[in-house]
Amino acid sequence: MAETAYRRLTGARLRRRGFLTAFATRSSLWLADDHLLCVDSTGYAEEYKRFYFRDIQSLTIRKTDGLRVRAIVFGFLTVVCIVLALVINDVAATVTMGLIGVPCLLALVLHLALGPMSVCHLRTAVQVEELPSLCRLRRARKVLQRLRPLIAAAQGTLTSEEIERQLANPPDAPPVIGPSPAPRSTPPIRSYEGRSHLILFCLLLADLPMTLVNVAVKSGWLEGASLLLLAVTFGFGIAALVQQRNTDLNSAVKCIPVLTLICGGLFFLASVVYGIFTVVQNPEAPTDNLSSLDNPVVLTMTIVSTALSVLLGAFGLIHLRRYRAARRAAAPLAAIVPPVA
Amino acid sequence: MNVLPPRCTQCNAELTGGGFNQFQLRPCPACHAELQIEIFPAWFRSPAAGQAGETVLVEGESTCFYHPNKRAVRPCDGCGRFLCALCDCELQGQHFCPTCLEVGRTKGRITKLENRRTLYDSIALALAVWPLLIFYFTVVTAPMALYVAVRYWNAPRSVVHRTKVRYVLAILLASLQIAAWCVGAYFLIVALTKSNG
């Protein structure tokens, strides 16, 4: 049987399966004469899903906040790196901040140029399938424009008035034998009951006393304790990210674990890069200088990272408290049971 | 037939109030997510009723291979067996029995049913390229890359168009690596011989 000729519709984008994914799967869309092909590739194997035009019931494009969140994160990191690079009068620090800041700036510009992000779902009689490669609103609309005449050729067309009429006054339908296939739906939103966010915010606030003690008492044990605190903070950041999925926590609280992981990771990476850079430049210089707060670069990074931790921790605690207060106020009053005579 | 309104893909609330098949975003009444929904006639179409197969009424009439008491309506395009209306599986204008359909899917003979393929060309190229990071591994991976490229040269590649350039690159790189190891081994032997002599 001759192979079908396909034309590429979209480039490959990541299909995210859960929070932690072992292998990244890239999904792309291809067009044949009578069907749409979704290709999921791991690089070494491909999986195919075909959606015939006569079977497609609906296409839903939902705009998301992805652009705004990415713009805030990359913009914040770019500003921090630029400020640090200008303030610190040190070549090594400038290079380090540049190595982090320039990619963040490029990412920011790229995301703004590509436009709002979206999630697209295709529905047939037996499935509701996400199309990860339609992750930008502009691209999703272009693809929809291209598919519309092909689907219309296979099925015909419906105006919005006809759709509303049919939904409002459904004609007599033949009885369905057996359960009708339920479309896969997103999990319901539930109220947040976890503790990870509270612990995370407390750990972020604990960074300040730990830093002050480190400054006052220079000890290898305390530096080890600082690293341990960082590792535990990262752990609770990840736990908070997992616990907050599909909850009604406000977005202000939800973004703090993300910011914590990104900023913490970047500062850790910057300190490692700076350390390697300094040792390579002056191999004979004493390495105590790298951990000493007399070093202006180390001092600045310590002050900025501690300030960020305190800000994020305080901000998170305030908003978490407001969320809990709002939930308590919204909970129905317990029925007062009259005493039995 | 689906007569229920579509649902929001974020909060699963029913989307009432119209606004479908319009080229603009409309807010979900529950979570206020902005949605553009395109509904097609298949949404309101009833699924086609399946056929049970007719019972044989006249003796000597052709019967189905799998149901001897059912009348055969057509032969299978894969194996030629007679099929009743129940066993007839229509696929893009061709008619198969359930066995041929399953075999066609698992052995890749019916490409329209194929839902997975291994990309041997990518595997061969990865074996030739990635181990270069730690060159000593190439003594093992270069022959493996060469073997995979030659062994699976004619294996089906991706369903979407793909040339054999990855195979060619893998063979070239693997050959160069093997040649480098051979040259290195030759000079090592020569050096050892001279030092012993």
> pLDDT per residue over A271-315, tens digit each?
888 888 777 777 666 555 555 566 777 888 888 888 889 999 999
Nearest Cα to B14, choosing from B24, B23, B3?
A: B3
Tokens of B177: 């690596």
Q: In sequence order, which ranges of chain A are alpha helices (DSSP H)?
A: 66-87, 91-114, 137-155, 160-168, 196-216, 220-243, 251-281, 288-291, 296-330
Tokens of A335: 């029925």
Pairwise CA distance, residues A18 & A257, whole Å: 17
Average pLDDT, chain A: 81
Q: What is the mean pLDDT of residues A254-267?
A: 88
Nearest Cα to A105, choosing from A85, A124, A130?
A: A85
Q: What is the mean pLDDT of residues B142-149?
A: 95
Cβ separation B119–A45 shorter than 8 A: yes
Mutate one of B25, B36, B96 to test the A interface: name it (highest A CB count within 10 A).
B36
Mutate one of A29, A60, A68, A143 to test the B interface: name it (highest B CB count within 10 A).
A60
B47 to chain A, any CB pair closer than 8 A? The answer is yes
Q: What is the mean pLDDT of residues B135-148?
A: 92
> Does position A179 have pLDDT exceeding 60, yes or no?
no
> Does position B167 have pLDDT exceeding 90, yes or no?
yes
* pLDDT band at residue A52 under the 50/70/90 scheme: very high
Q: Which residue has the tokens 């599986």?
A: B89
More confident residue, A180 or B52: B52
- Please state the length of chain B: 197
The DSSP H or E segment spanning A141 is helix A137-155
User: Partners of A52 in the beta sheet?
Assistant: A35
**Radius of gyration, alpha carbons of chain A:** 27
> Does position A136 have pLDDT exceeding 60, yes or no?
yes
Q: Quote the minimal CA–CA distance from B53 to chain A in Å.
A: 18
**Which of B18, B43, B114 lies closest to A164 in CB terms?**
B18
B113 to chain A, any CB pair closer than 8 A? The answer is no
pTM: predicted TM-score of the whole model, two decimal places: 0.66
Neighbours of A241 (CB within 10 A): 19
Residues 44-63 of A with CB under 8 A from B: 44-50, 54-63
Q: Which residue has the tokens 């995979």?
A: B148
Q: What is the pLDDT of residue A337?
A: 44
Residues 114-173 of B with CB under 8 A from A: 114-119, 122-123, 126, 158-161
Pairwise CA distance, residues A302 & B195, whole Å: 58
Identify the closest residue of chain B to A156 by CA–CA distance: B41
More confident residue, A48 or B107: A48
A327 to chain B, any CB pair closer than 8 A? The answer is no
B37 to chain A, any CB pair closer than 8 A? The answer is yes
Q: Quote the minimal CA–CA distance from A168 to chain B in Å.
A: 9
Q: What is the mean pLDDT of residues A73-96?
A: 79
Return phi, psi of residue B37, to 5°.
-120, 130
Cβ separation A58–B22 shorter than 8 A: no
Return phi, psi of residue B145, to 5°.
-65, -40
Over residues B7-46, the pLDDT tens digits come to 888 888 888 777 888 888 888 888 888 899 999 999 888 7
Q: What is the pLDDT of residue B136?
A: 87
* HEC sequence for B88-109: CEEECCEEECHHHHHHHHHCCC
Task: Please say whether the beta carbons of A46 and B117 come within 8 A.
Answer: yes
> Does position A333 have pLDDT exceeding 60, yes or no?
no
User: Measured between beta carbons, which residues in chain A are less than 8 angstroms from residue B34?
Assistant: 62-63
Task: Please say whether the beta carbons of A245 and A19 come within 8 A.
Answer: yes
Task: Please say whether the beta carbons of A237 and A257 come within 8 A.
Answer: yes
ipTM over 0.85: no
